[in-house]
Structure 1
């Protein structure tokens, strides 16, 4: 199963989860109805029989009870989901986390951030916010709705007790949850469980009211009965809800463990981390008062084991270790906090000394394999190449990417044109409009940015994202306006500059403007064709050459969607490729179903590869567009193989159709 199939399954699982909780709500309504009928029978001095509910309550009352229970649960769930609207940041701050992307206070924090950045660059995702929980337990979590608002949370015990290899295994496990669509499901579970819990809280409120309120015996007994009943109903619902949560969570942990092994190419890292949890005095149990609320999000169980483990959200450590290390002797590793720092300097030095590899051309087959098998599932080759790309970014630029002022300067310079005259105009534009300190920082960093390899520019953008998220609204609006002015300064669209801009906006603002979507028939087809046209014109200045590349991409799409792509759409003129139309096309393409996106990405690769190879700059362009489509494509090491893509898709005649509607 690849990334797109996992995303499609995650959508279906969300529906299944809602269905299971709806079933739990129906059971609660039934229990509440029976309890209410029993109380009415008791108040009348009658014998209670479930078959006489109509005579005791009437169907109007039963309907009112059902509506009231459903409304309470819905309001409680919506309230909690509203609290969680900020995504992973809301979860991390609820647990007392502190963001360390822009302020690392110790060597352990710097090492942890470096490991997360390596994993993000290797997998093709924006660097997530990293939060530190001041807890001695060894644990971690990933939370958020989408990769763009995801956070990685790490405990103090985790970053100080685990060595670098073990920390990599834990972080890779959490990235797997990001790729597999688990995070959104986890937050929805929190919201739905909160709605059910509200019923029990209402019961507690009524019990307290009956104690301090009216002294009339019969009235008091009624309040006591209703309160006790609501508590029983609430706990019954919570019981079923926790059963569902546990069942949903356990199997996903095995999958994340296996993905971490694939990513880090070794089982010793994640297995070693689990062994240390078993032998560590602090274990994995978190001290936060809200730990139970997010128990299904952690790397290892954050709570003490419950009765018969029926509510355990994680498989036993022994089972997880046994799957990762079949030859394990059953002994946990005894370790003290801080042991991981002393064990890691040699590993850190090896990573810091890794020589970067220059990116070269790649074949279509390499890119197609990356789309089908490596998006969301990077292997050791992508992990090594990602580390090399990070090493290709000079330390001064890496340090600048962690500072909100300097990060803006880096992004401004990365959007400069190649033409010297246009570049000078852009400098003057920024001198007039940007913050003076930001402009001075850009001038200071410009020599190193000018020599930055093309394949390291997108990783540098990803490194800047957490710092840019720290900008206050006024600073961010000035920053965004200046980016748009830079794009429009030369009165033409440079696709690479636009792609970098869209990567930033996707990471900082999330989904494209939904108003750009179109319900017109064929809008998806036209959007795909327009993106192919933009790529064709970018690689070719002659219309006939661009037309040839464009038709190769269309042929690829027609083979993937024989019903949708019935005929070729004529190539728009280069002057028709505007920022507004590009944004609209990308918004429409992003809204497509997960299973339809790989065909578009491979058609783009076919357009680029019509001359037999895809250059490093084109690879980064494809990765930038893939990122905006919510398809985190890992960096692809270049090779010298020649592609046969042109012969595959140029041996058949092309059809004709009406002009694009974009």
Structure 2
């Protein structure tokens, strides 16, 4: 099963989850109706039986009960989902998390940040916000609605008790939840359970009200007490079944995430070692936060004490998970409390320990057509061991000064401005003058300060550097961000046309910061997805060909690959920023199993002359990212050469 199949299954699982909770709501309505009928029968001194429910209540009353219960659950769910609208950040902050991307404290936090950044760059996803939970337990979680608002949460025990291989295994496990579409499902479970729990809370408040009500109204107190007790029973019965559903859904996904982590890291001992340490550690994986139970299904390992007969356990037993990862395990956890923390080197030495030179990487020049097709089928959401190593190498190819700047909200703006400058020297000069007028003077000075390192940056590392900037840019206050975005658009439009290469970097950044654009203006007309695909293929054809006839042949190659009828090629002047954004927004809504065909059609467009250039690969990855299909950096099967000798003109023919 590949990335697109997992995404499709996640969509179907969401429907199944809603169906199961709908069934639970129907049962609650039925139980409430029976309770109301029993109370009416008792008040009238009549015998109660199922056969006379309609006579006791009447269908109007039954309908009112059903609508009331459904309304209470819906409003409770919507209220909770509204609280979690910020995605992963809301979950992390409710658990007391502190964001460490901008200012990590000490080697342990820096090493954890390094591991997350390497995983993100190697897999082609935006670098997520990393939150530290000050808890001695060994645990972690991924939360959010999609990769653009995902966060990785790590406990203090996790970053200090695990060695690098174990920490990488845990982080890979959490990234698999991001790739497999589990995060959105997890947040929806929280919302649905909260809606059901609201009924029980209403009952609790009514019971309190009956206790404090006037003693002269005994009849009223008794009625209030009976209604409150009944609602508590109903609410907590619903929560019981809801937790059963949550546990059943969660357990199987943990096995999948463990297997995916081994695929990412090609190392089963890392994640198995982390699980063994949890089993032998006195603090285990149990979180102390008062909100821990609410998000229990999101954690790497069980964050709560064992429930009755493990009925509500959201995770398989540790021993079962370890046995699947390490069949030779002897079944003993051992004691890890007295073992030294997992950090044996400083963050600065970390790259050398992993065998990565901080001075260079293989420059990506070009990739044959078949390799691109294979990447679409097998590498999206599933980076290989070589790509993981290449991701580390890409990160290390970014000079330390630029990495430090990328973690600062102020300096990160300067990096992005520079990356969007035009290649043509005259256009570049005009854009620099424009920046002098519209950007903060200190940001302009920061560009000048960092320019020597930026000039030596390998072209293959541009997207990596952009991804590193994302968490810092998310920390901008709204007014700063609006000025920054407005300046970016002015830079893109400064020459009166849109260079697709510049737009690609801009779209990667906007997708990471805002998600897919223009959803409120999506075209409802039939065939809008095909029109959007045609427009994207036209833009790609013009990007790789300055003359009309070669662009036309490239465009037609893409249409044939996508099995669309041949239509006239839009002119280069038709390709503008607004239309490109809208086409991407429409294309992002197509079903997951249909997206590979569009990506392959783009590759066919690029390969119309038998050659795919390095910049075209960068463009393909950028558009794939905007379609929520994270494509890892593609390795080149050519002899390596130093980072200082970046060659953007070298190509490989297919």
TM-score, with length taken from structure 2: 0.95
1:114-133 to 2 correspondences below 5 Å: 114-133=114-133
Q: Distance in 1 between matches of 2:542 and 2:521?
A: 23
Residue 348 of structure 1 deviates from its aligned partner by 4.4
Q: What is the match of residue 357 of structure 1?
A: 362
What do the CA deviations read for 1:156-215 (whole angstroms, capped 9, x no partner)? Answer: 000000011100000000000000000000000000000000011011101110011131
- Give 5+ residue unaligned stretches, structure 1: 559-564, 645-662
Deviations 1:454-478 (A, max 9, x none): 1100011000000000000110011
Contact 1:164–1:340 under 8 Å retained in 2: no
3-state SS in 2 of match to 1:73 = helix
Q: Is the 8 A contact 1:164 1:344 kept in 2?
A: no
Whole-angstrom CA distance in 2 between matches of 1:337 and 1:488? 61
CA contact (8 A) 2:285 2:301 kept: yes
Q: State the partner residue of 2:648.
A: none
1:517 aligns with 2:522: yes
The 3-state SS of whatever aligns with 2:210 is helix
Residues 101-250 of structure 1: matches in 2 within 5 Å?
101-215=101-215, 216-250=217-251
Q: Distance in 1 between matches of 2:412 and 2:589?
A: 30
**Alpha-carbon deviation of 1:643?**
5.4
Give the deviation of 1:47 after TM superposition.
1.8
In 2, the alpha carbon distance for the partners of 1:601 and 1:20 equals 35
- Report the alpha carbon displacement of residue 357 of structure 1 after superposing the two structures with TM: 1.4
Distance 1:44 1:578 in 2: 74
Aligned to 1:280: 281
Q: Distance in 2 between matches of 1:100 and 1:626?
A: 28
Q: Counterpart of 2:526 in 1: which secondary structure?
A: coil
Check conservation: 1:400, 1:407, Cα contact below 8 A: yes
SS in 1 for 2:231: helix
Among candidates 621, 624, 627, match of residue 629 of structure 1: 627
- Alignment pair present for 1:392 and 2:390: no
Corresponding residue for 2:318? 317
Deviations 1:47-76 (A, max 9, x none): 211211112111111111111111110110
Distance (Å, rounded) in 2 between the aligned partners of 1:174 and 1:569:
44
Confirm or deny that 1:449 pairs with 2:454.
Answer: yes
- Asked whether the 8 Å contact 1:404–1:471 carries over to 2, the reply is yes
Corresponding residue to 1:615 among 591, 610, 613? 613
| Residue in 1 that maps onto 2:642 | none
The total of aligned residue pairs comes to: 637
Distance 1:337 1:125, change over 3 A: farther
Deviation (angstroms), 1:575: 2.0
Do 2:536 and 2:584's aligned partners in 1 also have CA atoms closer than 8 Å?
yes
Structure 1 residue 221 displacement after superposition: 1.4
For 2:56 and 2:571, the matched residues in 1 are separated by 76
CA distance in 2, matches of 1:157, 1:338: 12
How far apart are 1:360 and its partner, in Å? 2.4
Compared CA separation, residues 16 and 614, structure 1 to 2 (3 A): same
Match of 2:328 in 1: 327
2:50 is equivalent to residue 68 of structure 1 = no
Q: State how far apart, in whole Å, the 2-side matches of 1:459 and 1:112 are.
A: 18
User: For residue 569 of structure 2, what is the aligned residue in structure 1?
Assistant: 571
| 1:409-488 correspondence to structure 2 within 5 Å | 409-488=414-493
SS of the residue corresponding to residue 154 of structure 2 reads strand
Q: Secondary structure at the match of 2:132?
A: strand
C-alpha separation in 2, matches of 1:339 and 1:378: 32
1:493 corresponds in structure 2 to 498
Q: Distance in 2 between matches of 1:233 and 1:514?
A: 39
Distance in 1 between the 2:442 and 2:334 partners? 51
Shift, 1:45, TM fit? 1.7
Change (3 A) 1:550 1:312: same
> Which position in structure 1 is the counterpart of 2:58?
58
Q: Is the 8 A contact 1:164 1:348 kept in 2?
A: no
1:338 Cα deviation (Å)?
A: 7.8
Contact 1:123 1:376 in 2 (8 A): yes
Q: CA RMSD in A?
A: 1.4
Name the SS of the counterpart of 2:249 in structure 1. Answer: helix
Distance in 2 between residues matched to 1:282 and 1:83, nearest whole Å = 30
Question: Relative to 1, partners in 2 of residues 1:581 and 1:338: Cα closer, same or farther, differing over 3 Å?
Answer: farther
TM-score by length of 1: 0.94
In structure 2, distance between residues paired with 1:291 and 1:593 = 34
CA distance in structure 2 between the partners assigned to 1:120 and 1:368 by the alignment: 21
Greater alpha carbon shift after TM alignment, 30-39 vs 277-286: 30-39
Q: What is the DSSP-based 3-state SS (H/G/I as helix, E as strand, rest coil) of the residue aligned with 2:152? A: strand
